[in-house]
Amino acid sequence: MNTEITRAGSSLNQEEHQSFHDLFEAYNGHEGDLVPLLQKTQEKYGYLSQEAINEISRFLKISENQIFGVATFYSQFRFNAPGRHSIKVCLGTACHVRGGQVLGEAVGRELDVLPGETTDDKRFDFQRVACLGCCALAPVIQIDSDIHSRMSVIRLKGILEKYE
Amino acid sequence: MNSFNTVRKTSLEKWQALQASKVPIIYLGAASCGIAAGAMEILEAIEKTLEEKKIEAKIIKVGCIGPCYLEPLMDIALPGKPRISYANVTPQKVPRIIESYLVKGNPEPRLALAHFGNGNHGFPEEIPGFFDLPMLKSQVRVVLRNCGLIDPEEIDHYIANDGYSGLMKGLLNGPEKVIEIVKEAGLRGRGGAGFPTFKKWEICRNTKAPQKFMICNADEGDPGAFMNRSLIEGDPHAVLEGLLIAAYAIGATHGYIYIRAEYPLAIARLKKAIGQMREYGFLGKNIQDSGFGFDITIKEGAGAFVCGEETALIASIEGKRGMPRSRPPFPAIAGLHGMPTIINNVETLGTLPNILRNGASWYRQYGTQGNYGTKTFSLVGKIRRSGLIEVPLGMTLRQIIFDIGGGSRKPFKAVQTGGPSGGCLSEEFLDTPVNYESLTAAGSIMGSGGLIVLDDDTCVVDLARYFLDFTQRESCGKCSPCRVGSRHMVEILQRITKGEGEAEDLTKLQTLGETVKRGSLCGLGQTAPNPVLTTLKYFRPEYLMHVKEKHCPAAVCRDLIEYRVVPGKCTGCQKCVSVCPTGAITGPRAEPHNLDPSKCIKCRACYEICRYDAIAGDAIIIKSARSTVDEQTV
């Protein structure tokens, strides 16, 4: 892809531009690439920054509005920087009937954080997810890539302490 | 065809060599659920023990075999002997299991769960056959036949177990014949609606177009359902072979697998399997010299329940908001990029190789008139034996919940079929045969296969609120009955669960529910009211108790319950005092504690610690605030 590397008016330096364009390399710039591109960007940077949306908008030649429209539609995308660790509390049906909601509240209380936010010390970000697919082991929470099954409010504190 | 015979021969040799292995083989259940239960710690413990004891053994990670409640599961096969299965393994148990069976050859009935042999295997009688266990006995494994038994990352294992021979048969007979066989078999879409698979295919096949697409719908969004994840993780090639068969039948040259990004292991398995297919000549321009060319792209869904709907899924692949559009035109005529497109569910595709290989009449031996074959379900909730099951259609809910699942510990109350789009069926429906028509007649749906069992501790009003809250959040917002109607329904339900409901709210819910059902554009809105309408119908007294008496009999609804200390049972161990985050519990050691309801935030910490860590075990109870039970006598 022949793309311009630096542009006036952008808050990114040349290196950061280059970093985005490395990401774009595998794509043709079709509209159908939007969701995969957003996923790749989030995989690399942890979230979708304003700058990232701007770069993608220029690359795919579609408006930032349209990109936000798509990105906010899907629950996977986040717009603030993640913490060092990521907590997902499962609120699937099986987890709900086994106390997932109380568990979610306990996480919020323990870390003083609301769903969708990151703690002030950047240690954890906290999300609620619809189902992690481990229903037989409910209730579950996921921290980074570890799934903690058959969770309880009292086990939570000890588990959180393992993540610094 | 010749090239396939060569491939098959090599695969068979590799498989037979494994069966005749001179070293013992340890099979470890390492699907997502197994890993969540601790399979990786078990793996570590196995490797460590083998090294310490200087034993040579091969370790194979397999998919989920079904009984999740027994996870982590590990099996050991000594040379020349069938596998013996060990359940609920802990890292501490591993050395004992290895020492007793691998070293001393004693399977120890006390440790062993079951064996995989048939006939003369020489195991003690106390060890039952795995497929004779109560949970498995009445199951029929067609789609799941390989899950937990083969290495999902080895295409040779799949081919040696008759894999890809269904496709080869199809390629020999031609696409029309494939459609004919699927028609005869009576296969209906396993995604939930039960539309005859061949009909969709026929429409697509007969539409003239420069290109056609075949999509596998693996966007398993129903909370409480994991059948598709397990199948892909345990036997990815079965789904891929099915995708090829379907593509060949409709004349598609390119396929997509639309899979939830929340399923990383399943995605990794698919990617690996697709690489192997390419290597073995099952993908590309001229598959096994048949002239049929096909390729597959994996699209990761970004988390939107509505994308399970066909037209929304297509919009999502096109890079747009996943919003459904009105049909017709149906995707079979104008779908992805305006081209004829077929979308089939993972399980539908996983069934196809079996039908092609064994024939339509073989498939029709399972199930009942109009509902042939088997269906997988994830059996979860308040049930003793939870996990992934596969049963012939027509089995009753009672057989599934009690014979297979072992019932619930507390009295059975209801079963929710079909996830958030389904309904909540009471005890009187237990003898209903599970098929598309009977579940719809009861006000529920078959759905993709989530079965959530509820006991007396579950509040159906809270559950209806939960489901509606879910569908309301997932509503794409395009049509107003769904967008506005579901929101109002949630608000009413919230009021009721808070004890602020009025009698007329029930009528409002009923009217609104029927309107949303009739007026919505897609399946999400058309089925969203089901949980409310069925609970209103079958559990009306429970709604009335919430509304009139402000009483939640299951003691679930937050604003209607209280935590209480039972003075006669409390030993004063102070464990609850130490975990209470608000200082609501007080009292000196060795004397019954006092719980101040005005400070209590109902976080459950005291209840759990009393249950699991304290001597009394049940001194803290959760009761409906209206309950007049005498605390001394509880």
- Flag whether B566 is in a domain: yes
The reported pLDDT for the residue numbered A7 is 46
- Same domain as A59, residue A94: no
pLDDT beyond 50 at B252: yes
Tell me the longest C-alpha to C-alpha distance in chain A. Answer: 56
Contacts of B13 (CB under 8 A, 6+ apart): none
Tell me, what CATH number does A47's domain have? Answer: 1.10.10
Tell me, what CATH number does B402's domain have? Answer: 3.10.20.600
Q: Could you give the CA distance from residue A98 to residue A124 in angstroms, rounded to a whole number?
A: 24
Q: How far is B220 from chain A (nearest CA, A)?
A: 9
Q: Could you give the CA distance from residue B305 to residue B419 in angstroms, rounded to a whole number?
A: 12
pLDDT beyond 50 at B634: no
- The DSSP line for B410-448 is SPEEEEEESGGGSEEEEGGGTT-B-SHHHHHHTT----S
> Sign of torsion, CA B169 B173 B175 B178?
negative
The region of weakest confidence among B303-317, B339-353, B443-457, B613-627 is: B613-627
Q: How far is B260 from chain A (nearest CA, A)?
A: 10
The reported pLDDT for the residue numbered A125 is 94
The reported pLDDT for the residue numbered B629 is 54
- Flag whether A3 is in a domain: no
Q: Is B161 on the interface with A (CB under 8 A)?
A: no
Buried b (16+ CB within 10 A) or exposed e, B362-387: ebbebbeeebbbbbbbbbbbbbebbb
- Same domain as B159, residue B127: no
Phi, psi for B285 (deg, rounded to 5): -75, -35
- Flag whether A64 is in a domain: yes
pLDDT beyond 80 at B114: yes
Angle at alpha carbon of residue B265, lines to B259 and B268, rounded to 5°: 75
- Flag whether A2 is in a domain: no
Phi, psi for A24 (deg, rounded to 5): -75, -20
- Flag whether B143 is in a domain: no
B419 vs A93, A136, A140: nearest CB: A93
Strands (E), B63-218: 74-77, 84-86, 112-115, 213-218
- Flag whether A101 is in a domain: yes
Tell me, what CATH number does A151's domain have? Answer: 3.40.30.10
- Flag whether B4 is in a domain: no
CA B266 to chain centre: 13
Q: How far is CA A27 from CA A6, A38, A48, B503, in A?
A: 20, 12, 18, 58
Question: For residue B400, which of B419, B376, B424, B423 has the smallest C-alpha distance?
Answer: B376
Domain boundary among B495, B529, B549: B549
Instruction: Give the pLDDT mean for A96-108.
Output: 91
Give yes or no for a contact between A109 and A69, defined as CB atoms under 8 angstroms apart: no
- Same domain as A117, residue A148: yes
User: Coil, strand, or helix at residue B344?
Assistant: strand
Give yes or no for a contact between B273 and B388, defined as CB atoms under 8 angstroms apart: no
Q: Counting runs of H as helices and runs of E as strands, what totals does chain A give? A: 7, 4
The region of weakest confidence among B2-6, B110-114, B140-144, B403-407 is: B2-6
- Same domain as B84, residue B183: no
- Same domain as A130, residue A102: yes
- Flag whether A6 is in a domain: no
Flag if A136 and B380 touch (Cβ within 8 Å): yes
pLDDT beyond 60 at B291: yes
Taking chain A, what is the end-to-end CA distance rounded to the nearest angstrom? 41
- Flag whether B142 is in a domain: no
pLDDT beyond 80 at A3: no
Q: Could you give the CA distance from residue A41 to residue A20 in angstroms, rounded to a whole number?
A: 8
pLDDT beyond 90 at A135: no
Question: For residue B416, which of B470, B475, B362 has the smallest C-alpha distance?
Answer: B470
Contacts of A57 (CB under 8 A, 6+ apart): A63, A64, A67
The reported pLDDT for the residue numbered A11 is 66
Angle at alpha carbon of residue B560, lines to B556 and B563, rounded to 5°: 75
Q: Pull the structure tokens for residue A101.
A: 């909601």
Flag if A73 and B476 touch (Cβ within 8 Å): yes
- Same domain as A156, residue A98: yes
Tell me, what CATH number does B503's domain have? Answer: 1.20.1440.230
pLDDT digits (tens, 9 = 90+) for B422-432: 999 999 999 99
CB atoms within 10 A of CB B565: 22
Contacts of B174 (CB under 8 A, 6+ apart): none
- Same domain as B333, residue B277: yes
- Flag whether A133 is in a domain: yes
Question: For residue B375, which of B383, B364, B367 has the smallest C-alpha distance?
Answer: B367
- Same domain as A102, residue A63: no
Q: How far is B111 from chain A (nearest CA, A)?
A: 22
- What's the pLDDT band for B146 if we cut at 50, 70, 90? very high
**Is the previous residue joined to B152 through a cis bond, with omega within 30 degrees of 0?**
no
- Flag whether B7 is in a domain: no
Contacts of A134 in chain B (CB under 8 A): 32-33, 36, 226
Flag if A74 and B322 touch (Cβ within 8 Å): yes
- Same domain as B448, residue B501: no
Flag if B224 and A92 touch (Cβ within 8 Å): yes
The reported pLDDT for the residue numbered B193 is 84
pLDDT beyond 70 at B229: yes
- Flag whether B36 is in a domain: yes
Q: Could you give the CA distance from residue B442 to residue B423 in angstroms, rounded to a whole number?
A: 8
Q: Pull the structure tokens for residue B330.
A: 């149906």
- Flag whether B22 is in a domain: yes
Q: Is A99 on the interface with B (CB under 8 A)?
A: yes
- What's the pLDDT band for B508 if we cut at 50, 70, 90? very high
Total structural domains within chain B: 5
A135 vs B37, B378, B458: nearest CB: B378
Tracing tokens 């609620």 back to the chain, one arrives at A128
Q: Pull the structure tokens for residue A148.
A: 């903690």
Best-predicted range by mean pLDDT among A58-62, A80-84, B183-187, B378-382? B183-187
Q: Is A109 on the interface with B (CB under 8 A)?
A: yes
Query: CB under 8 Å, gap of 24 or more: what pairs does B266-270 form?
Result: B266/B32, B266/B218, B266/B229, B266/B232, B266/B233, B266/B236, B267/B298, B267/B300, B269/B152, B269/B153, B269/B232, B269/B233, B269/B236, B270/B232, B270/B236, B270/B239, B270/B240, B270/B298
- Same domain as A91, residue A157: yes
Buried b (16+ CB within 10 A) or exposed e, B82-117: bbbbbbebebebbbebbebbbeeeebbeebbbbbbb
- Same domain as A96, residue A61: no
- Flag whether A80 is in a domain: no
Q: How far is B373 from chain A (nearest CA, A)?
A: 25
The reported pLDDT for the residue numbered B262 is 84
Chain A residue closest in CA terms to B298: A36
Instruction: Give the pLDDT mean for A131-155.
Output: 88
Total structural domains within chain A: 2
Phi, psi for A88 (deg, rounded to 5): -120, 120
pLDDT beyond 60 at B631: no
Contacts of B430 (CB under 8 A, 6+ apart): B396, B397, B398, B401, B412
Q: Is B321 on the interface with A (CB under 8 A)?
A: yes
CB atoms within 10 A of CB A119: 16
Chain A residue closest in CA terms to B41: A146
pLDDT digits (tens, 9 = 90+) for B152-180: 999 999 999 999 999 999 999 999 999 99
pLDDT digits (tens, 9 = 90+) for B564-576: 999 989 999 999 9
Q: Could you give the CA distance from residue B171 to residue B178 in angstroms, rounded to a whole number?
A: 9
pLDDT beyond 80 at B362: yes
Give yes or no for a contact between B383 and B406, defined as CB atoms under 8 angstroms apart: yes
- Same domain as B372, residue B351: no
What residue spans of B209-345 are helical by DSSP H? Answer: 227-234, 236-250, 264-279, 310-317
Question: For residue B530, which of B516, B519, B540, B544 has the smallest C-alpha distance?
Answer: B516
The reported pLDDT for the residue numbered A10 is 58
- Same domain as B282, residue B173: yes
- Same domain as B405, residue B270: no
Query: Average pLDDT, whole number, for chain B?
Result: 94
- Same domain as B599, residue B522: no
- What's the pLDDT band for B628 if we cut at 50, 70, 90? low
Q: Could you give the CA distance from residue B302 to residue B310 in angstroms, rounded to a whole number?
A: 15
- Same domain as B542, residue B502: yes
**Where in the sequence is the domain holding A28, given as residue range(s)?**
14-73
The reported pLDDT for the residue numbered A4 is 41
Q: Could you give the CA distance from residue B95 to residue B86 in angstroms, rounded to a whole number?
A: 13
- Same domain as A97, residue A37: no
Burial of B328 (0-12, 13-18, 19+ CB in 10 A): exposed
Amino acid at B171: L
Q: Could you give the CA distance from residue B626 to residue B562 in angstroms, rounded to a whole number?
A: 9
- Same domain as B471, residue B568: no
Flag if A33 and B225 touch (Cβ within 8 Å): no
- Same domain as A157, residue A91: yes
- Same domain as B307, residue B159: yes
Domain boundary among B404, B429, B455: B455
pLDDT beyond 70 at A1: no
Q: Percentage of chain A surpassing pLDDT 70?
A: 93
Q: Is A159 on the interface with B (CB under 8 A)?
A: no
A32 vs B318, B454, B604: nearest CB: B318
Amino acid at B333: I
Domain boundary among B78, B99, B132: B132
Q: Could you give the CA distance from residue B256 to residue B371 in angstroms, rounded to a whole number?
A: 28
Flag if B458 and A135 touch (Cβ within 8 Å): no
Q: Pull the structure tokens for residue B369.
A: 């008139």
Q: Is A38 on the interface with B (CB under 8 A)?
A: yes
Please report how many Cα atoms fall inside a 13 Å half-sphere around the Cα of residue B578, on the Cβ side: 11
Give yes or no for a contact between B70 and B87, defined as CB atoms under 8 angstroms apart: yes
- Flag whether B269 is in a domain: yes
Contacts of B289 (CB under 8 A, 6+ apart): B1, B2, B3
Chain A residue closest in CA terms to B36: A147
- Same domain as A66, residue A22: yes
Q: Could you give the CA distance from residue B124 to residue B112 in angstroms, rounded to a whole number?
A: 10
Give yes or no for a contact between B300 and B267, defined as CB atoms under 8 angstroms apart: yes
Please report how many Cα atoms fall inside a 13 Å half-sphere around the Cα of residue B137, on the Cβ side: 14
Q: Pull the structure tokens for residue B361.
A: 């009449």
pLDDT beyond 70 at B633: no
- Same domain as A95, residue A120: yes
- Flag whether A135 is in a domain: yes
- Same domain as B332, residue B221: yes
Give yes or no for a contact between A53 and A63, defined as CB atoms under 8 angstroms apart: no
Chain B residue closest in CA terms to A78: B302
- Same domain as A104, residue A66: no
Q: Is A77 on the interface with B (CB under 8 A)?
A: yes
**Where in the sequence is the domain holding B185, given as residue range(s)?**
155-362
